[in-house]
A and B are shown apart, each in its own frame.
Chain A
Amino acid sequence: MWRYAMPIVLFAVLGVFLYRGLYLNPGSLESPLVGRPAPEFSLPSLEDPLREVGSDDFAGQVALLNVWATWCVGCRQEHPYLLELARTSGIPIYGLNWKDDRAAALEWLARLGDPYVASAFDSEGDVAIDWGVYGAPETFLIGRDGTVLHKHIGPLMPEIWRRDFLPKIAKECGSLPCPLVDGEE
């Protein structure tokens, strides 16, 4: 009996694994940073090289850090929605301009609109590595105490915002829209 059942059982088990494998996305990796303190950084601002933008800027508030570049197609795609979020969500969005050309980036913001409170200019990509960035666009949700609450890879879209971000923001803020805190200063 077992002699005949065994191959069928093995086939079924293998089939289940392979079928599941069809729907897994090997490109999406869970970030080890989630639940841990966000890496600190300080970089020249995109707009003004003499001014510094960094993790101190969003200390004490719930914020988004969006990794973007003008060469990135997905960034173009999510841009209108970022503008909408900047207007309506009450969550400040900070930009990390990644391995980009300063003039092109400024032109992009002037032409398409600027959703960012400030953008840090990471021309070498060092800060991006520290944040585990491997492909723009990526968006981090950072909590009041500076913990990374969530990381999304790929264009930020309304359904993703509602599904992944809003519940975490609601939990962090207690209520929506998130009451803005005046930092620690």
Chain B
Amino acid sequence: MVRILVACLMLVLATPLAFAIEGELGFDDPAMNERYRSLLREIRCPKCLNTSIADSDALIAADLRREVHQKMAEGHTDKEIVDYLVSRYGEFVVYRPPLQPSTWALWGAPPVLLLIGVIVFARILRDRARQPLDEDPIS
């Protein structure tokens, strides 16, 4: 059992290292290069489910990396590049969709659910505190 757990843990830990095909392109300037890499991680590959274009080896991901590289070299800002890709491929390609009416539920659900959880938890604690302690004689 422990062995299986350890194996699973190792598998999980190994995933971030499986960083597929970065760096066929890059910039000489380290700051620019860092910007390029982090931008690639923000853009979701439209063909493959839930990998960024930094991680995917799909044909289209390679093309999009090249497009991002070219646009950066031309001096476009991150926002311009992301806006361009969204205008072509839709909101799907961004991992952080903008806050707008169609995404209110998406952004709003986690805090609301967390709030509900906190309220339920607080009520359970309160109810328990009210119960007399000596009701069940365990000892």
Contact = CB atoms under 8 A, between A and B. Distances in A.
Interface of A: 26-27, 29-33, 39, 99, 124-126, 128-135
Q: Is the interface of B mostly helix, strand, loop or mixed?
A: helix
Nearest to A126: B67
A129 B67 contact: yes
Contact of A27 (B49, B59, B86, B87): B49
A33 B88 contact: yes
Contact of A32 (B49, B59, B87): B87
Contact of A125 (B49, B63, B90, B92): B63
Interface in B33-59: 46-47, 49, 59
A32 B60 contact: no
B89 A134 contact: yes
B46 A32 contact: no
B72 interface: no
Nearest to B87: A32
Given A99-B59, A125-B63, A126-B67, A132 B49 contact: no
Contact of A129 (B86, B88, B90): B88
Contacts of A133: 60
17 contacts: A27-B49, A29-B46, A29-B89, A29-B92, A32-B86, A32-B87, A32-B90, A99-B63, A125-B63, A126-B67, A128-B63, A130-B88, A131-B88, A132-B46, A132-B89, A132-B90, A134-B46
